[in-house]
């Protein structure tokens, strides 16, 4: 089973200089930027994350979660009667394997509570560093020069005779199908 992160969205927004600056201009854009970063994190690492924002009045009662089309990511907007902290606390309490859960928040009270339930905890700053490192690793992998990929294709590892024999077989099979 992979790790499950429960993330206080506004803690991350306020701890990240870039996102905080964006939030000062356009809060919705800052939230979307954070969601995209965490979606990339989930997609590249295979980890699961539940990103929780304090109530915004965006949804009708009972519509607190939304799936972002990325495996492993759930975004929750807390209803007005609950805080992000209380949702994180409840979600961790319901987890069967709390040792594989990580509460990401700067709120010392919720950190202590989650740690007391057996969950791991991480500060917003450490999580931002983890996101940044993951995004940098992903960029390096995508931008990896083609020369580093030499020999990655099967035909590049075959001897000339074997390659010629396979080409001849391919031609015979395509002619037999006509």
Query: What is the phi-psi region of residue 34: left when phi exceeds 0, alpha when psi lies from -120 to 50, beta otherwise?
Result: alpha
Identify the sign of the CA torsion 88, 91, 95, 100. negative
Nearest-angstrom CA–CA distance, 132 and 60: 34
CB 75 within 8 A of CB 58: no
- Least trusted range by pLDDT, from 51-65, 66-80, 106-120, 133-147: 51-65
Which has more pLDDT, 157 or 170? Answer: 170
pLDDT at residue 122 above 60?
yes
Per residue in 28-40, pLDDT (tens digit) is 999 999 999 999 8
> Sign of dihedral through CA atoms 152, 41, 49, 131?
positive
Backbone angles phi, psi at 46, to 5 degrees: 80, 10
Overall pTM surpassing 0.95 (yes/no) = no
pLDDT at 29: 93
pLDDT of residue 79: 86
CATH topology of domain 4-142: Rossmann fold (3.40.50)
What are the residue ranges spanned by the domains of the chain? 4-142
Mean pLDDT of the chain, nearest integer: 84
């Amino acid at each position: 089973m992979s790790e499950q992160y429960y993330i206080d969205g506004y803690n991350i927004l306020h701890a990240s200089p870039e996102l905080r600056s964006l939030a000062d201009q356009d809060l919705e854009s800052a939230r979307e930027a954070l969601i995209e970063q965490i979606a990339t994190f989930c997609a590249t690492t295979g980890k699961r994350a539940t990103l929780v924002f304090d109530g915004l009045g965006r949804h009708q009662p009972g519509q607190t979660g939304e799936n972002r089309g990325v495996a492993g990511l759930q975004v929750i907007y807390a209803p007005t009667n609950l805080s992000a902290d209380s949702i994180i606390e409840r979600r961790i309490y319901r987890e069967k394997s709390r040792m594989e859960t990580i509460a990401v928040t700067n709120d010392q009270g919720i950190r202590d509570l989650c740690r007391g339930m057996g969950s791991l905890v991480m500060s917003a700053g450490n999580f931002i560093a983890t996101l940044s490192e993951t995004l940098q690793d992903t960029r390096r992998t995508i931008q990896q020069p083609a020369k580093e990929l030499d020999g990655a294709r099967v035909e590049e590892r075959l001897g000339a005779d074997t390659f010629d024999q396979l080409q001849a077989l391919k031609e015979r099979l395509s002619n037999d199908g006509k």
